[in-house]
Structure 1
Amino acid sequence: MPQRVATCSCRQLMLRTTEEPLRVSICHCNACQRRTGSVFGVQARFREESVVIRGNATIYVRPGDTGGTGSFYFCPVCGSTVYYRLDSVAGVVGVPVGAFSNADFPAPTVSVFEECMHPWVALPEDMEHIE
C-alpha cells in the first residue's frame, strides 16, 4: 500500500494516508486563489478512513461558491493549510498537493471553476474541464 505524508511548513501538523487519491483536481475559484496565494489550488481527495492526522490545527470555515461550507485546517504556528473537509462531500478529506512535497504525486485529472481561471494558464486538453 502506498503511504503519503503531508506536512505544514514547520512540520507540527501532519497527515498520513495509505491509499491512492480518489481524485486530484485543480480549482481556479477566487477563494482557492486567496487561500494559496497563487492563481489556483491543486488538491487530492482521500477517503477519511485512510487518513491519520497528528498535531494541532486551527479551523477556518467559509461558505463555498456552490453553497455549503468548507472547513480548512491549518497550522497555528506557520499558517500552512494541511487539509480540508467539504460538508457536501462526506467521508472525504482534501489535501493541498503541495503539502506532500512529492514531485511523483499523480497529476490532476479535473479542472474546476475555470470561469475564474487566469487567461495565461494553459492546461492539458485531456483532463476534464468544468466551468
Structure 2
Amino acid sequence: MANAQCLCGALSLKLRETSKLIVACHCLACQRRTGSPFGLGVFHAIDTVEISGTATEFIRVGDSGRKVRCYFCPTCGSTVYWKPDALPSLIGVAVGALGDPSFPAPAFSTFERSKHHWVHVDEAVEHFQTSGLQRGT
C-alpha cells in the first residue's frame, strides 16, 4: 500500500493496490497544471483509493471534449489526483505526490505532439502523438 499527499499533508490518498498504468502526459494542460514540461500520473481503480481531507475541484474540458476533474489542496495548492470522464473507473494520482524517487518509469508517453524537444523518453515506453489511453490515437 502506498500513500500520496499534498505538500502540507492536509489532502492524502491511500492506494490499496499497485498499478502499472503509469503515464507521462505532455499535453499543454498537464504542463500548465504541474508547472513542468509534462505531468506524470499513475492510474488506479477508483474503488481501491481512499481519499482523506478536503479538496478543491477544477473542471477542464480536454481535447476530446470530455471533462477532466482535477483535485488540489485548498491550503497549499498541490494537485494530488484527477478523474477523467474518458476513464470513469480510474483515478489519476500525481506521481510526485507519492514522494518516492524509486517509483517506476512510465509505460506510456502521451500527447508527444507538444513534448518539449529536450525531453527524452525511453524507447521501451509506448509513444503516442495524442492520447494513448484510447488506443489508436
Matching residue's letter, 1:69: K
Identify the residue that residue 135 of structure 2 maps to in structure 1.
none
CA distance in 2 between counterparts of 1:67 and 1:114 reads: 19
How far 1:104 sits from its partner (Å)?
A: 2.0
CA distance in 2 between counterparts of 1:72 and 1:113 reads: 18
The residue correspondences of 1:85-104 to structure 2 (distance < 5 A) are 85-104=83-102
User: Is the 1:22–1:47 contact (alpha carbons within 8 Å) kept by the matching residues of 2?
Assistant: no
The residue correspondences of 1:38-49 to structure 2 (distance < 5 A) are 38-49=36-47
Matching residue's letter, 1:21: S
User: Is the 2:20–2:107 contact (alpha carbons within 8 Å) kept by the matching residues of 1?
Assistant: no
SS at match of 1:119: coil
Q: Say how many residue pairs are matched.
A: 129
- Runs (4+) off by over 2 Å: none
Identity of aligned residues (%): 44
| Alpha-carbon displacement from aligned partner over 1:42-61 (angstroms, at most 9, x marks no partner) | 00000011100000000000
CA distance in 2 between counterparts of 1:9 and 1:127 reads: 29
Unaligned 5+ runs, structure 1: none
Identify the residue that residue 68 of structure 2 maps to in structure 1.
70
| Alpha-carbon displacement from aligned partner over 1:79-114 (angstroms, at most 9, x marks no partner) | 001110001101111001000000122210100000
In the superposition, the TM-score normalised over structure 2's length comes to 0.92
User: Is the 2:27–2:114 contact (alpha carbons within 8 Å) kept by the matching residues of 1?
Assistant: yes
How far 1:22 sits from its partner (Å)?
A: 4.5
Say if 2:31 is the partner of 1:33.
yes
Unaligned 5+ runs, structure 2: 130-137
Matching residue's letter, 1:16: K
In the superposition, the TM-score normalised over structure 1's length comes to 0.96
CA distance in 2 between counterparts of 1:105 and 1:58 reads: 26
RMSD value over aligned CA atoms?
0.8
